[in-house]
Structure 1
Amino acid sequence: MAQIIDAYFLNVHPFIPMIHEARFRRRYADETERHGLTILLHAMTFAVGRFVDVAPEEAVGYEVLERSRREVLLEAFSGMSVERLQALIIVASTDIGNGHARRAWPVVGSLSRTVEYLQLSIEPDEGTPPSLLQPLSALTPSRCSSWTQLEERRRVFWNVFLLDRLCSVMTGWNTSLTSDDVRRRLPADGLLWRKEEDSVLTPFFGIWDKSAGKMGRSISAAYPSTMAHYTTSPAQSGDDPGSVRDTTHSALDMSTVGAFAYCIEATESLSRVTTYFLQPRLDVHDPRELGDWLIRFKELDLRLVHWKMFLPQKWKAPYPTSRPQNKMDPNLTLAHVTHNASMILLHQLIAYPHHDWAWAVRLPSSSSAETCQNAAVEIANITSRYLQTSERGPLANQWAFCIFLSARVLLIHRQYWRDVDVRPEFWDLVRSLETMSQRWTGRDPLRAPLQQQLEVPDLASSYVTSLRTLYQTSQQRLHIPISILGYTQELGQHDGRAPVRARCSDLPAPGTVVHHQESLSRDDRGPVIDADQPAGSSSFQPENSAGTQDLHSISQMFMDQSFLQMDRIITFDDGFFTSTDMTSNPAW
């Protein structure tokens, strides 16, 4: 079991930093405490049994791993505790990475509710007025012996939050944890937590109110950019924009926030693009709705630009390329990969609009296409360098998803613009996914016939298969377009069945943008307006004159040089990847 514990903290913990290693090992060494860790030990066995370096005849087999998973589920749903939540987080993350996303989603849904039942979604003793009806409390702060334990509970919540957001982005489903549920401070810097320092104070992270962010309501008005990103009051956390950082208004010492917190921010940005831009219904023939949708695009674009712009200086130290022994921080690097993926998710509909969208000649399609290409290229560069400099070990599922989005948009660009071939970075991304698949598999245990029958490709491997299939299809049948938003239908959900490919005639799931199954022939749609071409030069005129004026005004905003020249993409040369305390351990 000692090898399992070592393998867990080496391979899984960097991307799921929620168990304090020193405290866990002390509890494991104490026979009176060890029984309470049984469910966690089963979860660890399920997650890292394949990484344990033993003789082949002693390798952990498939049936043992599945038995550990069943033990976790049976015990986890028989009660509520922090350890049960931690075990389910490990199981859900492992299921997704193993290619069993379908059996992970119900666990994620349960986690989202259970963290509320345990009141882990709110900060204890923050002085907020109590409600008239006091909810049943399964956990009490008095049971926490130290700030280290309180921080561990906080990190348990944020890992559930990340699973909830990843589930929403990958599937197109609604998020479960909302501003009504969450009043939580961001996790502290991992170095402070590991050292079991005295209590440190971190800021609250604001979750946007879905009602305030409905289409037609300005995000900028509801969440002004001039507000501080961080607050000291839980009452303000639901009103905090949560995306723009203004340290001149912040009363907190930002040195207490670490790389894991920035990964949470970036993931929430990715989720906001889905929730506030892609999920709302859109009538593309209604000029007023189009105007609201395009304004929302610009607002979200500006928020993403500001997130990059206002990163604290401590996270901007250049990557020391002359010192290869220094490591790129896993969570900070994932945060920046996620930021670039958010840009792709936001800009790709503008870059490659549906051929029926005649009004699309007013869009900054050339600029957005360049943004998508640059973001994909930089994700390829960052990932390749990380794989070169990091120790062997798996990468986060979210990372694989971001790579898939990047490679996919390169294929879409090639098909849309009828390029001779896809950019070479496409194959760099495919190779990175292949490497990630190999790392995820780890040491190959002895495989029983039952495992061979039930085995499915891991997540990264299924992404590789889908990308190669899309590439081959686009080579042979150029007239069949790749659905821009079809990623929710293609991957991570077949669980052993043949990969599901969205037909070009398929419609989006309820609640998503109408007509997002795009035909990608620019010749069918007509030329995209050049960035320097005056808006309004097209002969297309919508029927509604008031809407025409609105669209014309909005298109003028897109042609503004300040919009076109925004610094949107985080590049490897920016060097935002090595934290100041990376001398020996990741700054989780």
Structure 2
Amino acid sequence: MESAFSPPEAKRRRSDERPLAITCTPCRARKIKCDSAKPTCDNCGRNPAECIYPVKLKPGLRAGTGVDMARRIEQLEERIAGYEARLGAQEAGLASVAAWRAEVGGLALPLPTPAPAAFSFDLAPPSAPTPGLAALATISPAPSGASFRDPHVLPPDDVVRDLVALYYAHIAPWAPILPPQEDAPPWGIVVYAIVVVTLRLSDDPRIANKAGLKAAAKSHVLSHAIESTSIASVQALALLALDLIGSEQGPSSWGILALLTRSAVHLGLVAEDEGAGASAPRVPSNLTRASIIPPAHDWREDEARRRLFWLIFSLDRYACASTGWDFALPDFDIRRRLPSADSIWAGGEWHAAPLFQPVLHRGAHPHPEELSPMAYLVEAADLLGRAHSLQSRVVEHDSRDVESRKDMVLTLTAAARRWFASVPAIPGAMGLVIAGVYHATLLKLNAYYAFPALSNAPVEPYAATCAESAAALAALVADARALGFRQASSPLFIWSAWVAARVLFINAFLAHQAAPGEQFEAILDALREMAAYWSLANQYVKLLERAKRKWAAGTPANTDPNPSLPDAIHVLLDLRRTAYSAVGVTDATPHVSPPDVNLSHLPAWAVQPLLGDLHNWFDLPAGLFADQ
């Protein structure tokens, strides 16, 4: 039968009969669920005129997709160029490791000589946008034991044994990656790293030159890690990273973390081994990844590898939250089981703990007694990472975007609270670290919205959450003092205490109080004491004490708007400054008048001239890099 429509009319009729989208235009713009009711959905009930269901688009790429992809490729190329520059500086430093040894303590130490390898190969394409790639691009599959040569820089064996005992007594409780074992000379590479990280805890008079010993042992670990590939090398690097994040060192040293995370990926630590009962790593079907290390020969070694990865994961999340970096270990790549209880680790039978799942996507653990306390540290670090990801997203000053972000903050806060309520009582330093990271995460999430713009009244429930978590951290500091800061202090706990101190200072300052208060003083005193073991705390103390002195000098007594507050208070209040530039700044922040628009939906930080942006609020202090 001949069609009643001409070809153009038939084409137009088919277009008119295309199905409609299941989500209306306003719901799609607000990124909320639409019930698809016609003619007006429930969300648009107050304004039916806006509820429009567009025609479904034809299959295929949307307009502008090619331009967006080109832009993303350009951004990746810029990141690669940045990584190459950073790695070039790091490789130049490693090339001069012999000179470092000769300079420190008059020690002339030979470099470890790697064993000859049958072949070498590229682990990843040169274009892979990953830090640490150049350092690991060409690597020998020979076992690292053959390439290890003891340079004999360690003190007498009895002193080394005492330092190893300090590790198991004061660091292993919150970084339990090494099983208790009897080490004996000649000392392996892990013992050199143990010496580096535990010298801060030793007051042994037999160690005359701590700085020279630490520098020599650290240089040996770094050169060995570059020239060989083994689980022992990565364990040693992880211990160096613990020393790094708790010390006053510059950006060039953060290459250790880049090397550590890439080593974890290259050695296959990100995913469970097929032999351990987990699913295989996700790799393209037409690509077989080279095996760098053999499978674990027993259960204890398999669990040691698992715990090593989770420590690296926790350090990655902490480093990103405190510096603003992107994750080196993305969530979608991780397919690992949680650490098992110490009693199970000590046994010889293989055990399959639950696979890691984000707290937002799972219920309570069915058998918590089978999990190591480290499993809860992993989950706390995951929550911290998710808070960091949420705050890293740029939000336009639009009321709908701000309200959507507030909803996400409340959702993540509620999930974190449910999780923490299910965490069993964990004694000692590990329990302090877990609780500290949890409360610091809530402070990061809620402090942004605790005080609204153009109003002195705090907004609930954000302000109440901040007050509760700050008080909880002050109580944790008291518990740590009772336990002893030599055992209870750690870089992650120190950072958590700093977050609480800064929130307490700003809240008190905005409330026009006479002083920061008792909780602030308690945390400041604790940071001062913990600085004896981890010099990271000393930088926080300097910043807080300087701001406190300026406050006591009478600055807040002036009720008039003052765009020239002392720099010490700007360090804490002017949140537009990154922490790297917080120390040693002499120029006052220029006064910026807020725009003449309705700003009631924005947080105070967005409009008050002295508060700026909160995105970099919790960074590491600039004093870490003042001498670089």
With normalisation by structure 2, the TM-score equals 0.62
Sequence identity percentage: 21
- 1:216-295 alignment to 2 at 5 Å? 241-243=358-360, 245-247=362-364, 252-276=366-390, 278-284=391-397, 286-295=398-407
What is aligned with 1:45?
195
Q: How far off its partner does 1:54 sit?
A: 3.1
Q: What is the CA deviation profile of residues 457-483 of structure 1, one whole-angstrom value per residue up to 9, with x for unaligned ones?
A: x10111111111222334443344755
Please say if residues 112 and 160 of structure 1, whose CA atoms lie closer than 8 Å, have aligned partners that are also in contact. Answer: yes
Q: How far off its partner does 1:258 sit?
A: 2.1
What is aligned with 1:152?
304
- 1:557-576 alignment to 2 at 5 Å? none
Task: Find the partner of 1:61 among 210, 225, 243.
Answer: 210
Give the superposed CA RMSD. 3.1
Q: How far off its partner does 1:514 sit?
A: 10
Note if 1:473 corresponds to 2:550: yes
Q: What is the CA deviation profile of residues 506-525 of structure 1, one whole-angstrom value per residue up to 9, with x for unaligned ones?
A: 99xxxxx9995663899xxx
Q: How far off its partner does 1:50 sit?
A: 4.0
For 1:65, what is the secondary structure of its paired residue?
helix
What is aligned with 1:435?
529
Q: How far off its partner does 1:149 sit?
A: 0.6
What is aligned with 2:171?
12
Q: What is the CA deviation profile of residues 469-506 of structure 1, one whole-angstrom value per residue up to 9, with x for unaligned ones?
A: 22233444334475568498326x99xxx556996569
Note if 1:204 corresponds to 2:355: yes
Q: How far off its partner does 1:368 sit?
A: 1.8
Separation (CA, whole Å) in 1 of partners of 2:321 and 2:409: 17
What is aligned with 1:186?
338
Q: How far off its partner does 1:332 sit?
A: 2.1
Separation (CA, whole Å) in 2 of partners of 1:73 and 1:275: 31
For 2:246, what is the secondary structure of its paired residue?
helix
**What residue identity is the alignment partner of 2:242?**
S
Q: What is the CA deviation profile of residues 358-384 of structure 1, one whole-angstrom value per residue up to 9, with x for unaligned ones?
A: 6x89x9714322221221111111221
Task: Find the partner of 2:540 among 442, 463, 467.
Answer: 463
Please say if residues 429 and 487 of structure 2, whose CA atoms lie closer than 8 Å, have aligned partners that are also in contact. Answer: no
Note if 1:177 corresponds to 2:329: yes
Q: How far off its partner does 1:260 sit?
A: 1.0
Q: Which has the larger radius of gyration?
A: 2
Please say if residues 318 and 492 of structure 2, whose CA atoms lie closer than 8 Å, have aligned partners that are also in contact. Answer: yes
Q: How far off its partner does 1:75 sit?
A: 1.1
What is aligned with 2:420?
308
CA, structure 1 residues 421+154, in 2 after alignment: closer, same or farther (shift >3 Å)?
same
CA, structure 1 residues 506+66, in 2 after alignment: closer, same or farther (shift >3 Å)?
farther
Q: How far off its partner does 1:104 sit?
A: 3.8
**What residue identity is the alignment partner of 1:80?**
T
CA, structure 1 residues 279+391, in 2 after alignment: closer, same or farther (shift >3 Å)?
closer
What is aligned with 1:420?
514
Q: How far off its partner does 1:137 sit?
A: 1.5
CA, structure 1 residues 274+130, in 2 after alignment: closer, same or farther (shift >3 Å)?
closer
Note if 1:350 corresponds to 2:449: yes
Q: What is the CA deviation profile of residues 395-428 of structure 1, one whole-angstrom value per residue up to 9, with x for unaligned ones?
A: 2101000000101111100111112222201010
What is aligned with 2:263?
114
Please say if residues 338 and 355 of structure 2, whose CA atoms lie closer than 8 Å, have aligned partners that are also in contact. Answer: yes
Q: How far off its partner does 1:79 sit?
A: 2.4
What is aligned with 1:388?
482
For 2:290, what is the secondary structure of its paired residue?
coil
What is aligned with 2:497?
403
For 2:327, what is the secondary structure of its paired residue?
coil
Q: How far off its partner does 1:87 sit?
A: 1.1
Q: What is the CA deviation profile of residues 26-68 of structure 1, one whole-angstrom value per residue up to 9, with x for unaligned ones?
A: xx34x7xx56x2x222212211234345335x43431121111
Separation (CA, whole Å) in 1 of partners of 2:361 and 2:422: 7
Task: Find the partner of 2:243 among 64, 73, 94.
Answer: 94
Q: How far off its partner does 1:131 sit?
A: 3.9
Please say if residues 270 and 338 of structure 1, whose CA atoms lie closer than 8 Å, have aligned partners that are also in contact. Answer: yes
For 2:340, what is the secondary structure of its paired residue?
coil
Please say if residues 425 and 431 of structure 2, whose CA atoms lie closer than 8 Å, have aligned partners that are also in contact. Answer: no
CA, structure 1 residues 335+50, in 2 after alignment: closer, same or farther (shift >3 Å)?
closer
For 1:365, what is the secondary structure of its paired residue?
coil
What is aligned with 2:288?
134
CA, structure 1 residues 518+78, in 2 after alignment: closer, same or farther (shift >3 Å)?
farther
Separation (CA, whole Å) in 2 of partners of 1:517 and 1:167: 26
Give the number of equivalent residue pairs. 426
Q: What is the CA deviation profile of residues 90-127 of structure 1, one whole-angstrom value per residue up to 9, with x for unaligned ones?
A: 11211221221524421111211110100001000124
Please say if residues 428 and 488 of structure 2, whose CA atoms lie closer than 8 Å, have aligned partners that are also in contact. Answer: no
CA, structure 1 residues 502+9, in 2 after alignment: closer, same or farther (shift >3 Å)?
farther
For 2:531, what is the secondary structure of its paired residue?
helix
For 2:608, what is the secondary structure of its paired residue?
coil
Separation (CA, whole Å) in 2 of partners of 1:166 and 1:59: 34
Separation (CA, whole Å) in 1 of partners of 2:589 and 2:414: 32
Please say if residues 16 and 159 of structure 1, whose CA atoms lie closer than 8 Å, have aligned partners that are also in contact. Answer: yes
Of structures 1 and 2, the one with the larger relative CO (CA 8 A, separation 6+) is: 1
Gaps of 5+ in 1: 207-240, 318-327, 441-457, 508-512, 523-588
**What residue identity is the alignment partner of 2:474?**
A
Note if 1:105 corresponds to 2:254: yes
